[in-house]
Amino acid sequence: MTLAEVQTVYWPILVWPLLKLLLAMAVSLLLALFVEALNWTHGMARLARPLIRLGHMSEVTGASFSVSFFSGMAANTMLSEAYDQGKIDKRELILANLFNSLPTYFLHLPTLFSLTVPLIKGAAVVYVGLTLAAAFLRTVIILLVSRWLLPAHTASNAAVIEKAKDGIDWRAALAKAKTRFSRKMKRVVLYTVPIYTAIFLLNHWGIFDGVQGFVTSKITWFDPRLISIILFHVAAESTAGLAAAGALLNTGSLGQREVILALLVGNVLAAPMRAVRHQFPYYAGIFRPRLAAELLIASQLFRVGAVIALGVLYYWFTA
């Protein structure tokens, strides 16, 4: 492969997106390390304190939950740092990652709503409402499970508060963050670059499309018009599925109930594959590949289960 081929063929579809991902990870990592060095996690956890107390979670989990409303990558970086330092164990790490699904959903909610309303109009309220209800359901379940699995935190935070009152040493905090950043970023690059490249090649060679085509071909009990919505939702981006749903809805070929159920099925089938494509490369750089795979599997199984549960309820109540 010549340099000219890299610049003309692979630069816009592989190299440049990978560089942007690494830049975003570097900024998130430096931010998380700087916040930790300043001991701001305690203050940020105040926003979620009633919830983390209910779930017997730590201050780090509360801070991560608050940060998730702005950056899921930064929140995961905070959890990774806390896990590496022994501040939280693997059980709380998994629960905290699942717990952050609600603010992560809110992070993407404006984009989702702005896409669904023009395409499927009134059905958008029901569809988005069901996916939002699924996110709330996951949060409630996680709080109950974590309260049962995790011990109550009885340690006092007085030392942290007193340290914060002494003033902020910005220079020392930045120096500490930079020292740890260089070490951590090497691991991020070491894992993210080859995994991202491998997944890009699998996608480029059509492996993921083949798997998705096989899955959708097995859905033979659906109306062919519904299969078209599911197929577009799975094989392309979700916007394609919404566009197909909008076209069938506007022409009267399908009713609102059928369109919403088809979109929920497409959501369930498409999300795990997209998680592998888009999330696993940076997860592997933050958490290490094996742990990243465990976190993604847990989150996708939990997410799919919640969406299926809400879909079944909607199916029964609208029958």
| 6 has pLDDT over 60 | no
Q: Residue 161: what pLDDT? A: 41
Q: By the 8 A CB rule, do 56 and 152 touch?
A: yes
- Which helix (H) or strand (E) is 38 found in, with range? none
**How far apart are alpha carbons 91 and 93 in whole angstroms?**
5
Mean pLDDT computed over every residue of the chain? 80
Q: Is the pTM of this model over 0.75?
A: yes
Residue 271: domain span: 3-317
Q: What mean pLDDT comes out for the span 85-111?
A: 90
- Residues 20-43: what's their mean pLDDT? 72
Q: What's the average model confidence in pLDDT over 174-190?
A: 77
With a pLDDT cut of 90, the percent of the chain lying above it is: 26
Domain count, the chain: 1
Residue pLDDT, tens place only, 48-76: 788 888 999 998 898 899 888 888 888 89
pLDDT of residue 157: 45
- Predicted confidence band of residue 315 (pLDDT cuts 50, 70, 90): very high
C-alpha angle 231/317/238, rounded to 5°?
25
Print burial letters for 146-164: b (CB count within 10 Å at least 16), e (below 16).
Answer: beeebeeeeeeeeeeeeee
Say whether pLDDT at 292 is over 70.
Answer: yes
Does an H or E element contain 25, and which? helix 16-37
76/98 Cα distance (integer angstroms): 11
pLDDT (tens digit, 9 = 90+) per residue, 107-160? 888 878 887 888 788 899 999 999 999 999 999 999 999 999 998 865 444 444
Q: Decide: 280 and 241 in contact? Cβ < 8 Å.
A: no
Residue 215 has pLDDT above 80, yes or no: no
Dist CA 211 CA 120 (whole Å): 28
- φ/ψ region of 167 (left if φ > 0, alpha if ψ in -120 to 50, else beta) reads left
CA dist 256 and 275 (Å) reads: 28
pLDDT in tens, 99-116: 999 888 888 888 788 878
Instruction: Say whether pLDDT at 162 is over 50.
Output: no
Provide the pLDDT confidence category of residue 209 given band limits of 50, 70 and 90: low
